[in-house]
Amino acid sequence: MSLVEERAEGIHVIRSVATDGIRVDDREFGESFVLLPDRVEESNWPANADALATADLDRLLALQPELILLGTGQKQTFPRPELLAHVLMRGVGMEVMDNAAAARTFNLLAGEGRYVAALFLL
């Protein structure tokens, strides 16, 4: 699914989402990663919501996003409730959705100048 044609100045843009990867700008990602408007964090993210741990969320929170988007693959899969509570208790919202919806939401919010972090599970 193609998402956008134009690149906003100074921010990463998700170009397409497929079952086996996500294209950000001109680069294809086939493993889980975190996308922020100004950078990509690639190292050692879980492959699915069941493998998500508090330490992963703490790494996301350390990036100081306004909001966390959790893209869980082809289908929306909620992580354990205590993981959602871990983020919410720190005053940061977290939205869980499939990767395509998370990609559209990221592009919209980043394009509006919001500092959002999207963890895409692949």
Task: Say which residue the tokens 């395509």 belong to.
Answer: 100
CATH number at residue 77: 3.40.1230.10
Task: Establish if 36 belongs to a structural domain.
Answer: yes
State how far the Cα of 115 lies from the Cα of 45, in Å rounded to an integer.
20
pLDDT at position 4 over 60: no
**121 pairs with which residues across the strands?**
none
SS3 sequence, 45-107?
CCCCHHHCCHHHHHHHHCCCCCEEEEECCCCCCCCCHHHHHHHHCCCCEEEEECHHHHHHHHH
Q: Give tens-digit pLDDT for 25-38.
A: 999 999 999 999 99
Q: Is residue 104 part of a domain?
A: yes
**What is the value of pTM for the model shown?**
0.91
Q: Please check whether residue 2 lies inside any domain of the structure.
A: no
**Which residue range is the domain that position 68 belongs to?**
14-120
Total number of domains in the chain: 1
Secondary structure letter of residue 31 according to DSSP:
S
Say if 57 falls within a structural domain. yes
60-83 pLDDT, tens per residue? 999 999 999 999 999 999 999 999
pLDDT attached to residue 54: 97
Instruction: Report the candidate in 103, 112, 120 with the shortest Cα–Cα distance to residue 11.
Output: 112
